[in-house]
Amino acid sequence: MALTGEYQPSKSQWAREQAEKFEESQGSEANELRGMPIIVLTTVGAKTGALRKTALMRVEHEGRYAVIASLGGAPQEPKWAGNIRHHLHVELQDGAHKRDYLAREVEGEERDEWWAHAVAAFPDYDAYQAKTDRRIAVFVLEPMAEEDE
């Protein structure tokens, strides 16, 4: 079931424009960062309940995705990570295809495996982890059953 709530645009202009252009064009425009593909994640705001849309790198493996809370190696986590912990049901749009997912934060070996997929998709993640003292959170997104399945 699709998420419900009012869309509240991000305060970050470049990130907002990328997410909006990507969605409006069904993923045919604004679909890369430095030549590498992105997806758009929709989360439910932990405080407002509003729908938040965030452009993130595309980390996909066998039909599942990971989202990496790197925020360029900043000391603080991106807000969307807290939103996910508060509300595990999210939407992810990859190209023209938008679907519902259940998110789970991963640790240990599972995190290591997904981190390797993440770095293969976007090598800068290693530099971001080296830049910050926090352990960058990794969330794996498992597809939820579609209504007609």
Among 1, 6, 47, 145, binds ligand F42 (CB under 6 A): 47
Say whether residue 54 binds ligand F42 (CB under 6 A). Answer: yes
To ligand F42, the closest distance from the beta carbon of 142 in angstroms equals 19
- Rounded Cα distance between 12 and 125, Å, is 20
Q: Which helix (H) or strand (E) holds 55?
A: strand 51-57
- Rounded Cα distance between 10 and 13, Å, is 7
- Rounded Cα distance between 53 and 19, Å, is 6
Among 23, 27, 31, 57, binds ligand F42 (CB under 6 A): 57
Nearest residue to the partner ligand F42, using Cβ: 45
Show contacts with ligand F42 in window 78-97 (CB under 6 A). 78-80, 82-83
- Rounded Cα distance between 60 and 94, Å, is 10
- 40 and 58 in contact (C-beta within 8 Å)? no
Among 31, 42, 52, 92, binds ligand F42 (CB under 6 A): 52
Residue numbers at the binding site for ligand F42 (CB under 6 A): 10-12, 14-15, 18, 33, 38, 45-48, 50, 52, 54-57, 68-71, 78-80, 82-83
